[in-house]
A and B are shown apart, each in its own frame.
Chain A
Amino acid sequence: MSGKIAIVGAGPSGCFLAQALLKAAPGLEVDLIDRLPVPYGLVRYGVAADHQGTKAVSRQFARVFERQGAQFFGNVTLGADVTLETLRAAYDAVVLAAGLSQDRPLAIPGGDLPGVHGAGTLTRALYDHPDACALPDLGPRPLIVGNGNVAIDLLRLLAKTPEEMTGSDLGAGPGEWLAGSGIEEITITGRSPAAQAKFDTVMIKELAKLAGVSIRVIGAGASDDPVEQKKIEAVQALDGIATGPRRITFRFGLTPLAVEGETSAEAVRFATDQDEEVLSCSSVLTAIGFGPAGDLPRDALLADARDAEAGALAPGLYATGWFRRGPRGTIPENRADAQALAARILDDLKSDPDKPGRAILADLAEAVDYTGWTRIDAHETEAAPEGRCRAKIATRAEMLRRARQEERPK
């Protein structure tokens, strides 16, 4: 089968889709377009620096380019370098796999005070994303709103001692920032009871290994449901762990009403099931979901979709992963989603040999191809200092420079 397919977003969803398409139809031309000069999206910038085992999935993605023949067009921004309309005219099918990168705002009074930081914004800075802002001072007592897996990642990273980051790809700057954070106490709050908390049990169990913390779990509650009981037991098992001075407190059933503070966040007022409670803090970290970056009219596209559940937006236009489903589900769910969509696309596909496909991207002088990424990757791996598996390049300019630089004979 022949056909030209462009996938916008070279993160896990896009890569799994390309993998599934090319496995079923090796003759397709599949192009992965990303606004960053580097591929793999959330595997590089969302999976925690100390979860290298999870990042091993990128070995599969490398093969999509190296063996299955997909092409990478990095540093290509939709809207600026090429429009969606142009892509749709040039390819038989276009798939939006752009993810959801913006933190959902804490829409309560004071939610925009200085000292309120989104988890995505913070982790992008921690993981050396080229578009990240500087790492902020969180003060001695950050409070986390939300207790899904993103919140647990953030909690774990903030709680770890420098020694516990051995083997990670945490950069030098973020490493110094963490080591010098001066954090004394982290409070993590969720709206629901522990029984319905959004974290995965395995993420909670991992916290039992933390080397420098004293953990309290308040109000985990009870349940008759076996699945809920596992959640409660896992978090309850953390209560009383005392391996070091950094205090961690788990709280449940707290719905944030307002962030209080004169010039910056000093406390959060919550509704409890009986009353209200105010918890003081030195900063507020929100981990309450993600929304679209705003460069694509996601809401309108989904609202007008032919079959939103299947990811079919319009003739020749599709969506997959978080961009389609919303910010829920881990890497394997996006794989299943991508495999289902691949079948749908192949079913629908009507190849038009007159479509130019990737030829329309040929004039983009600043685009980074897969070879360029392998140069960046090789440099980052070789430059890894003691105790790190990689030293990420943190700026676009340096990425582009490395991408263009041929390896010199040693």
Chain B
Amino acid sequence: MKITILYGTETGNAEMLAEDIQAELEGENEVDCLNLSDMSPSDFDASRFFLLVCSTYGDGDLPASAQPFAEAMNAEKPDLSAIHFAIFGLGDSEYDETFNHGPKKLAELMLAHGARQIGERVAHDASGDDMAEDLAFPWAEEVIAQAGEALGEAA
């Protein structure tokens, strides 16, 4: 499968996880890994499956590198109805009121422009006991399996 991993990061933790997922998926798939700050809404390609990895920063906000993307989406209003994505969130439950609000906002942004979400949004908790990759690798495998059917149908 052709996959693009898009990450939104503030401290670099989401970037590190995105690169880990890329390394894990390479071989069986053709995988790109891109900072959301370098992604234009017009670059979405229906033949690719988009894996979004996004943290939360400040008071439940999108991380810095996702903010220009969000602004571009709101300005350009692209039609993403042929685009399939899945999303993995990073957060810290120490700040429980806004836990994983960044990825939640990013998912809503994608859905608002018609993109189709594959699987549930999974959230890693930096204050929990799991390593992010231990949740993210099985998540990626799962959503790729589901996306195979969806992208196959679309093709």
Interface residues of A (CB under 8 A from B): 16, 19, 50-54, 56-57, 59-60, 63, 167, 200-202, 205-206, 209, 230, 331-332, 335-336
Apart from the given pairs A53-B125, A60-B11, 7 other A-B contacts in the complex at a CB distance below 8 Å: A19-B12, A53-B127, A59-B16, A60-B12, A200-B58, A200-B59, A205-B59
Among A50, A205, A209, A332, the residue within 8 A (CB) of B11 is A332
Given contacts A51-B94, A209-B96, contact A57 B59 (CB under 8 A): no
Partner of A60, one of B16, B59, B92: B16
Q: Is the CB of A332 within 8 A of B64?
A: yes
Q: Are B92 and A205 in contact (CB under 8 A)?
A: no
Interface size class of B (residues with CB under 8 A): 20 to 34
Residue-by-residue, is B1-30 near A (CB-CB < 8 Å gives 1, otherwise 0)? 000000000111100100000000000000
What is the predominant secondary structure among interface residues of chain B facing chain A? mixed
Known contacts being A57-B11, A332-B64, is A206 close to B94, with CB within 8 Å?
A: yes
Q: Does B57 contact A (CB under 8 A)?
A: yes
Query: How distant is the Cα of A53 from the Cα of B98 in the complex, in angstroms?
Result: 14
Q: Are B57 and A332 neighbours in the complex by a CB distance under 8 Å?
A: yes
CB of B6 to closest CB in A, whole Å? 18
B59 touches A54 (CB 8 A): no
Q: Are B59 and A230 interface neighbours, CB within 8 A?
A: yes
B12: contacting residue among A52, A57, A205, CB under 8 A: A57
Which chain A positions have C-beta within 8 A of B94? Answer: 50-51, 53, 206
A-B contact pairs, 11 of them (CB 8 A): A52-B126, A53-B126, A60-B16, A167-B127, A201-B59, A202-B98, A205-B95, A205-B97, A206-B94, A331-B11, A332-B64
Which residues from chain A contact B57 at a C-beta distance below 8 Å?
A: 332
Q: B97 touching A52 by the CB < 8 A rule? A: no
List of 9 A-B pairs having minimum Cβ-Cβ separation, nearest first: A53-B126, A53-B92, A53-B127, A332-B10, A56-B126, A201-B59, A202-B59, A332-B11, A57-B11
- Give Cα A166–Cα B105 distance, bound, in whole angstroms: 31
Most chain B C-beta atoms within 10 Å of own C-beta, residue among A16, A50, A200, A332: A332
Contact with A along B67-99 (1 / 0, CB 8 A): 000000000000000000000000011111110
Provided the pairs A230-B59, A331-B11, A332-B11 are in contact, do residues A202 and B95 lie with their beta carbons within 8 angstroms?
yes
Question: B residues near A, CB below 8 A?
Answer: 10-13, 16, 57-60, 64, 92-98, 125-127
| A85 to B60 alpha-carbon distance, docked (Å) | 46
Report the bound CA distance from A50 to B95 in whole Å. Answer: 12
Name the contact of A63 in the complex, choosing from B10, B16, B96, B127 (C-beta under 8 A): B16
Residues on B with beta carbons closer than 8 Å to the beta carbon of A19: 12
Chain B residues within an 8 Å CB radius of A205: 59, 95, 97-98
A53 vs B55: C-alpha distance when bound (angstroms): 12
Cβ of B96: which chain A residues have Cβ within 8 Å of it?
A: 209
Question: In the bound complex, how far is the Cα of B91 from the Cα of A295, in angstroms?
Answer: 38
Q: Given A53-B127, A209-B96, A332-B64, do A202 and B12 touch, yes or no (CB 8 Å)?
A: no
Question: Contact check: which of A50, A56, A200, A202 meets B13 at CB < 8 Å?
Answer: A56
Which residues of chain A have C-beta atoms less than 8 A from B12's C-beta? 16, 19, 57, 60, 335
List the A side residues contacting B125 at CB < 8 Å.
Answer: 53
**Alpha-carbon distance A59/B133, docked complex (angstroms):** 12
Whole-angstrom CA separation of A90 from B143 in the bound complex: 52
Closest beta carbon of chain A to B134's beta carbon, Å: 13
Q: Which A residues lie within 8 Å of B60 (CB)?
A: 202
CA distance A392 to B11 in the complex (A): 24
Residues in chain A near residue B13, CB distance under 8 A: 56-57, 59-60
Residues on the B chain within 8 Å of A336, using CB: 64
A52 to B95 CA separation, bound complex (whole angstroms): 12
Chain A residues with Cβ under 8 A from B98's Cβ? 202, 205
Chain B minimum-CB-distance residue to A202: B59
Contacts of A335 in B (CB 8 A): 11-12
Q: Quick one: which of B58, B59, B96, B125 has the most chain A CB within 10 A?
A: B59
How far apart sit A335 and B57, CA to CA, in the bound complex (Å)? 14
What residues of B have a CB within 8 angstroms of the CB of A53 in the complex? 92-94, 125-127
B residues near A54, Cβ cutoff 8 Å: 92, 126
Q: How far is the CA of A167 from the CA of B128 in the complex (A)?
A: 9
Residues of B within 8 A of A50 (CB): 94
Chain B residues with CB below 8 A from A51, complex form: 94
Q: How far is the CA of A52 from the CA of B93 in the complex (A)?
A: 11
Chain B residues, CB < 8 A from A206: 94-95
CA distance A57 to B93 in the complex (A): 16
The distance in angstroms between the C-alpha atoms of A202 and B10, with both chains bound, is 16
Given A51-B94, A53-B125, A59-B16, is A202 in contact with B58 using a C-beta cutoff of 8 Å? Answer: yes
Contacting residues, chain B, for A59 (C-beta < 8 A): 13, 16
Cβ-defined partner of B127 (8 Å) among A52, A57, A60, A201: A52
